[in-house]
Structure 1
Amino acid sequence: MTTSPSYQAYNELFHALYNELCNYANSYLHDDAAAEDVVQETFIKLWQKHRELIGIPNIKSYLFRAVRNNSISELRKRNAEDAGNKGFEWMTEASEEPDELERQQAKPYYDQLIYEAIANLPPQCREVFTCCRLQGMTHQQTAAKLGLSAKTVENYMGRALKLLRKYLSKYGLPTLLLFLLKMLTGV
């Protein structure tokens, strides 16, 4: 493998662009270690797909675009983690019933996580969830609006809640889902 022409080309490309790509990633992340991680992950993905990417005319542009996209993804992940951590700090300091000021301070962080989680739902689940939870419609009303049976709406809601719990659990928020949804909808 280390003597194959594709590996040799990959190795040369790695050594030629590694520092430049790290500097580019660092311009987004402002963290040398994270920038190196992003570039290394990008090169790993490149190697995994190298047979598919042989025909790319400008691999350098491809790598810079990939590093940019991966850096932005890393920033989003950090922001979501920060939002989750701030939410937990708020929750541990809060009394049983948070006052209005505490709710207002935490709301933007939770809103971001919730909207991101909802956006990641499959289209039909998202539509049913939006009708039932965000618009306050009953299962019967949602079924009539979307031309589905009430049981189908119930199944989609169960699936949506399961997927939302799974998504939010990445940020340490599995038990706070209903609380978050109440904050979002103001109910």
Structure 2
Amino acid sequence: MITSPSYQAYKELFYSQYNDLCNYAYSFLKDDAAAEDVVQETFIKLWEKHREQIGIPNIKAYLFRAVRNNSISALRKQYTENASQKGFESFVEIAENPDTLEIENAKPYFEQLVYEAIANLPPQCREVFTCCRIQGMTHLQTAQKLGLSAKTVENYMGRALKLLRKYLQQYGLPMSIIFLLKLILP
């Protein structure tokens, strides 16, 4: 059993603030288990990295700020996971359980979104993307055709994929749909 003065101060701080901090985290997360996880992680980080702060007069304010920041981080992580999972689930439902009618009904929607996403690219990005992904050219072939360096083509492709990902995420579609262009587009 640890009996150091800093541990005793930590233990007292934990027991005196735990419930209030859990309630505060719950106000953000609306989930008891997630709120408790955030508070426990906050206390663990405090013990591991900031033991010297345990005895300072304004430690309560520090803890509330840390719990707030950790709650917001947890919400961001949860939102990102939910958004990507939602898009993936809708895509997988069609891909794994192919009902011919569903596929035929979804195909124009996918095609339209992909065409819109490509059309919204800056002109040079669009041209490079079209050569590489739709026409199936290599980066070197595209560079020679457009009079660019291979590194420039690579940079344009990276930018195009980033912009396409952002556009498709607005509609809950995963980026993997871009890799299926050969199947979707004629």
**What range is the shorter-chain TM-score in?**
0.5 to 0.7
1:83-122 superposed matches below 5 A: 83-94=83-94, 98-99=106-107, 101=109
Matched, 1:135 2:135: no
Identical counterparts, % of pairs: 54
| Cα-to-partner distance string for 1:118-142 (whole Å, 9 max, x where unaligned) | xxxxxxxxxxxxxxx953535xx9x
Q: Secondary structure at the match of 2:83?
A: helix
Match of 2:177 in 1: 179
Instruction: Tell me: higher relative CO, structure 1 or 2? Use CA pairs within 8 A at least 6 residues apart.
Output: 2
TM-score when normalising by structure 2 = 0.56
Counterpart residue number, 2:72: 72
Q: Which runs of 5+ in 2 are unaligned?
A: 95-101, 115-119, 129-147, 163-173
Alignment partner of 1:3: what SS?
coil
Q: State the alpha-carbon separation in 2 of the partners of residues 59 and 28 from structure 1.
A: 21
Segment of structure 1 superposing worse, 1-10 or 37-46: 1-10
SS of the residue corresponding to residue 60 of structure 1 reads helix
- For 1:24, the aligned partner's letter is Y
Q: Which residue of 2 aligns with 1:4?
A: 4
What is the letter of the counterpart of residue 38 of structure 1? V
Letter of the structure 1 residue corresponding to residue 58 of structure 2 = N
Residue in 2 that maps onto 1:120: none
Amino acid corresponding to residue 179 of structure 1 in structure 2: I
Tell me which structure has the larger Cα radius of gyration.
2
Match of 2:58 in 1: 58
Letter in 2 for 1:16: S
Separation in structure 1 between the aligned mates of residue 121 and residue 180 of structure 2, nearest angstrom: 10
How well do the aligned residues superpose, as a CA RMSD in angstroms? 4.4
Are the equivalent residues in 2 in contact too, given 1:90–1:102 (CA < 8 A)? no
Q: When the two structures are superposed, what TM-score results if normalisation uses the length of structure 1?
A: 0.56
Paired residue secondary structure (1:137):
helix
**1:15 shift after superposition:** 0.3
CA distance in 2, matches of 1:10, 1:136: 59
State how many pairs are aligned. 140
- Secondary structure in 1 aligned to 2:175? helix
